[in-house]
Amino acid sequence: MNLSRYAGRGDLGAIGGANIRPYSLNTLNRNGDAVRGNFYNGGYYGGAGWYNNHFRPWWPGGFVGGAGLGFMAGAAWGTTSNYVGVNAVPIPYNYGTTVVYQDDTVYVQGEPVGTSQEYAQQATDLAAQGEKAPIAKDEQWQSLGVYALTRSDEKNPSNFINLALNKDGVVRGTYYNAVTDSNLKVSGQLDKKTQRVAWTVDGKKNPVYEAGLNNLTQDQTTILVHQNGGKVEQMMLVRVNDPESGSGSGNQADNATPGK
């Protein structure tokens, strides 16, 4: 799979996050609904078999609650935070509002967390930590769901990803390209203190994807993609759970307020 379609095109990213802009809740919901509508009605959706064929776990262990809903289900904040032992108030990673690039400094919740280069390196180190983490054969995983990966103006995406966490915050998943019908492994890590999640695809150091844990429990959210040369791209994840399985959405109440 050629990831350069997204993360390698220089015209889509800007040095130091200069292209990061806030999304209103209405815009997120509208874009998410459009992506899901196209996915379910004439898109790539093919029932429960589509998920089983393309997102079958490649890592050891099983899903919490068994394989019935498995990776099709998207968990809400309460379920996810309790499972990984994050007992603090959720920290929203809403890029352009609660995460801001100003000059060469990145601010999270108004507090400086480093230069743009340092912030990107933090994500790289976090993702690498998860990739190297040992996994027990009987490990249990909390699914975060299956998402379409899309740019802001894209309503018929062909790239999809599923993500799951173990109790240590290790991330595993699968990246699926529907055009080439190919899969790649996803590995990463949750920082329980900052609630930041970072992951990479196919064991490569770049690009590095990041999002807030709470944001990943929502039906749609923006994410950041850190590229080579300091470029940062803003993209969206849109949950596309299987309606036939009864898995539904993670938590509609969580989506009523940005960052909740």
pLDDT tens across 183-227, in order?
Answer: 999 999 999 999 999 999 999 999 999 999 999 999 999 999 999
Q: Is 96 left (phi over 0), alpha (psi -120 to 50) or beta?
A: left
- How large a percentage of the chain has pLDDT more than 70? 85
Q: Is the pLDDT of residue 173 over 60?
A: yes
Kindly state the DSSP code that residue 44 receives in the 8-state scheme: S
Instruction: Please tell me whether the overall predicted TM-score, pTM, comes out greater than 0.85 for this model.
Output: yes
| pLDDT per position as a tens digit, 34-83 | 999 999 998 899 888 899 899 988 999 988 876 555 567 788 999 999 99
Question: In Å, how far are 46, 48, 147, 196, 237 from 241, measured between CA atoms?
Answer: 12, 9, 8, 23, 12
Label residues 89-111 b or e (16+ Cβ within 10 Å = b).
Answer: ebbbbbbebbbbbeeeebebeee
Q: How many residues does the chain have?
A: 260
Q: What does the pLDDT read at residue 17?
A: 64
Confidence bin at 178 (pLDDT 50/70/90): very high
Q: Is the pLDDT of residue 254 over 90?
A: no
pLDDT in tens, 152-172: 778 999 999 999 999 999 999
Say whether 184 sits in a helix, a strand or coil. strand
Helix (H) or strand (E) holding 211: strand 208-212
pLDDT exceeds 60 at position 255:
no
Q: Answer left, alpha or beta for residue 229, where phi above 0 means left and psi between -120 and 50 means alpha.
A: left
Question: Starting from the edge strand earliest in sequence, which strands make up the sheet with 111-115, in order?
Answer: 99-102, 105-108, 111-115
The per-residue pLDDT for 72 is 73
The average pLDDT across 128-152 equals: 94
How would residue 15 be classed by pLDDT, with cut points 50, 70 and 90? low
- Is cis: bond before 207, omega within 30 of 0? yes
Distance of CA 112 to the CA centre of its chain: 23
